Amino acid sequence: MFLFVKLFRESALFAWGSVVSNKLRTILTLLGITIGIFAIISVFSVVDALERQIRTSISSLGDNVIYIQKWPWEFSADFAWWRYMNRPTPRPTETDEILRRTHVVGAVVFTASTSRTVEHLNRSIERVSILTASHDYDKVRAFELQSGRYFSPTESAAGRNVALIGNEIAAGLFDTADPIGKTIKVFGRNLEVIGVFEREGDDTFGNSHDELVLVPLSFISSFIDVSSDRYNPAILAMGKENFSNEELIDELRGAMRSIRRIKPAADDNFALNQTSLLSRQFDGVFAIIKLAGWIIGGFSILVGGFGIANIMFVSVKERTTIIGIQKALGAKNYFILIQFLSEAVLLSLMGGAIGLLLVFSGTWLASNVFNMDVMLQMKNVLLGVNVSVIIGLVAGFIPAWSAAKLNPVDAIRANT
């Protein structure tokens, strides 16, 4: 252990001496490693941020919620959309039938959505998301209320003209005033605001409640056809505790086929979607982006590796006499080999450290100036360090091996 520390210290001094005496050569050598590490770790940091945001958005949809819809959640280039065009859309009456025919389902909700202008006195907000849902919406979707309350069973059943509004809608229509009890106009009808959603922040899939107006299903269904394709109808079913999603899907499939009287040999005319489908779709996307990062950074690291190998050959040439003297005094081959490998690794780590410092500066700037959720995680720091060490070992091995195999007599005479 003491020998290794001594070797490392000596190699560090040699490496630093080389850097100080040949600044331009060292900078040009380390530039490839720096750019490569910067490219790879930057891509990984951005992908991690995107992945974290997307997975948070996906989890907000409910890991234990199944979405019964006309269209499946598929994003492939060969998506056979024509197979699903003539499928029937979900209907509100099917929710009651699902509850009656299953024992695994704990809550089921019908939803439909559109966008409309929302008004209050002389203020208005265009293209606001209007969501209508049956009463158990609060059981299948997680949210908090900043003020007010949720719909009462009577309000939901009778279709009262009441609404819950998002934080952004409240700020846009009422500024700092309390919106509870005040009236907004949607679809040309007055709605009383009874609750305001807690601020949730941006959502990748637009599922945040911040810019949403939620109204009872019975209210909207009295003047529009909520089962129409134009309103994106869906049935959300959540299983009871201690039942898996697979059990829930099996029961829902059987119930829906029974409700729609589908013959045994016929295909389903509905889609059972779950968040795991979205996760798998994005896993492939993230893998491709990370591969692109490796390719982009790999070329720079390859150039940097050749640069380190070159500077190490020069270092061996410059210190040939010293190597001869060391071997004449009893230094073993492994001593010389470790000495030069350590120097190569240190040079590579210097380039990697600069690259990581640039990434840290970029993520700090993105996070604190542009309010982006990007950070340099420890796993990416360790990845950068490991890549730097591996490149140093690979690039420095041949020069170090050639130094270790020098004949001491020939080495001492080399510069005489």
One DSSP character per residue, 83-117 reads: GTTTPPPP-THHHHHHHHH-SSEEEEEEEEEEEEE
Tallying the residues shown for the chain, one arrives at 416
Determine the 3-state secondary structure of 329 from DSSP. Answer: coil
- Same domain assignment for residues 249 and 145: yes
Helix and strand tally (H, E) in the chain?
13, 10
Helix (H) or strand (E) holding 210: none
State mean pLDDT over 35-58.
82
Task: Grade residue 332 by pLDDT with cuts at 50, 70 and 90.
Answer: confident
Range scoring the smallest mean pLDDT among 100-114, 125-139, 249-263, 339-353: 339-353
Separation CA 74–CA 273 (nearest Å): 10
Helix (H) or strand (E) holding 135: none
Q: Would the pLDDT of 81 be above 90?
A: no
- Same domain assignment for residues 265 and 162: yes
Asked if 39 contacts 293 with a C-beta cutoff of 8 angstroms, the reply is: yes
Q: Would the pLDDT of 398 be above 70?
A: yes
- Same domain assignment for residues 246 and 102: yes
Please state at what angle helix 320-328 crosses helix 275-318, rounded to 10 degrees.
80
| Residue 80 included in any domain | no
Separation CA 132–CA 196 (nearest Å): 15
Dihedral of alpha carbons 169, 173, 175, 178, sign: negative
Task: Grade residue 197 by pLDDT with cuts at 50, 70 and 90.
Answer: very high
Task: Grade residue 203 by pLDDT with cuts at 50, 70 and 90.
Answer: low
Separation CA 373–CA 362 (nearest Å): 12
Look at residues 279, 224, 228, 231 and name the one whose alpha carbon lies nearest to residue 56: 279
Task: Grade residue 158 by pLDDT with cuts at 50, 70 and 90.
Answer: very high
> 2-22: string of b/e by CB count within 10 Å (b at 16+)?
eeeeebbeebeebbeebbeeb
- Same domain assignment for residues 212 and 292: no
- Same domain assignment for residues 212 and 336: no
By the 10 Å C-beta count (0-12 exposed, 13-18 middle, 19+ buried), 221 is classed as middle
Separation CA 36–CA 29 (nearest Å): 12
Q: Which residues contact 156 (CB under 8 A, 6 or more apart)?
A: 134, 135, 216, 217, 218
Alpha helices in 136-274 (DSSP H): 137-140, 153-158, 167-174, 217-220, 245-259
Q: Which residues contact 30 (CB under 8 A, 6 or more apart)?
A: 304, 307, 347, 350, 351, 354
Look at residues 387, 399, 400 and name the one whose alpha carbon lies nearest to residue 33: 387
Range scoring the smallest mean pLDDT among 3-17, 90-104, 108-122, 272-286: 3-17
- Same domain assignment for residues 119 and 228: yes
What pLDDT is recorded for position 415?
63
- Same domain assignment for residues 201 and 182: yes
Asked if 62 contacts 275 with a C-beta cutoff of 8 angstroms, the reply is: yes
- Same domain assignment for residues 255 and 234: yes
What pLDDT is recorded for position 336?
81
How many structural domains comprise the chain?
2
**β-bridge partners, 64:** none
Dihedral of alpha carbons 14, 15, 19, 20, sign: negative
Higher pLDDT, 152 or 243: 152
For residue 361, the one-letter residue type is: S
| Residue 381 included in any domain | yes
CA distances from 324 to 10, 333, 337, 410 (A): 16, 11, 13, 7
Range scoring the smallest mean pLDDT among 16-30, 191-205, 321-335, 348-362: 16-30
| Residue 382 included in any domain | yes
Task: Grade residue 11 by pLDDT with cuts at 50, 70 and 90.
Answer: low
- Same domain assignment for residues 137 and 31: no
- Same domain assignment for residues 253 and 346: no
Q: Would the pLDDT of 416 be above 60?
A: no
Task: Grade residue 326 by pLDDT with cuts at 50, 70 and 90.
Answer: confident
Helix (H) or strand (E) holding 231: none
Separation CA 204–CA 144 (nearest Å): 19
| Residue 92 included in any domain | yes
Q: Which of 269, 290, 325 marks a domain boundary?
A: 269
| Residue 81 included in any domain | no
Asked if 137 contacts 215 with a C-beta cutoff of 8 angstroms, the reply is: no
State mean pLDDT over 67-81.
82
Q: Which of 213, 234, 269 marks a domain boundary?
A: 269
Range scoring the smallest mean pLDDT among 65-74, 174-183, 282-291: 282-291
Q: Can you say how many angstroms the Cα of residue 65 is from the centroid of all Cα atoms in its chain? A: 21
| Residue 274 included in any domain | no
Cα pseudo-dihedral 365, 366, 368, 371, rounded to 10 = 160
| Residue 161 included in any domain | yes
| Residue 78 included in any domain | no
- Same domain assignment for residues 291 and 397: yes
By the 10 Å C-beta count (0-12 exposed, 13-18 middle, 19+ buried), 284 is classed as exposed
Domain extent at residue 203: 88-269
Task: Grade residue 1 by pLDDT with cuts at 50, 70 and 90.
Answer: low
- Same domain assignment for residues 135 and 265: yes
What pLDDT is recorded for position 19?
64
Q: What is the CA radius of gyration of the chain?
A: 33
By the 10 Å C-beta count (0-12 exposed, 13-18 middle, 19+ buried), 343 is classed as buried
Q: Which of 269, 294, 322 marks a domain boundary?
A: 269
Q: Would the pLDDT of 113 be above 70?
A: yes
State mean pLDDT over 338-345.
84
What pLDDT is recorded for position 14?
66
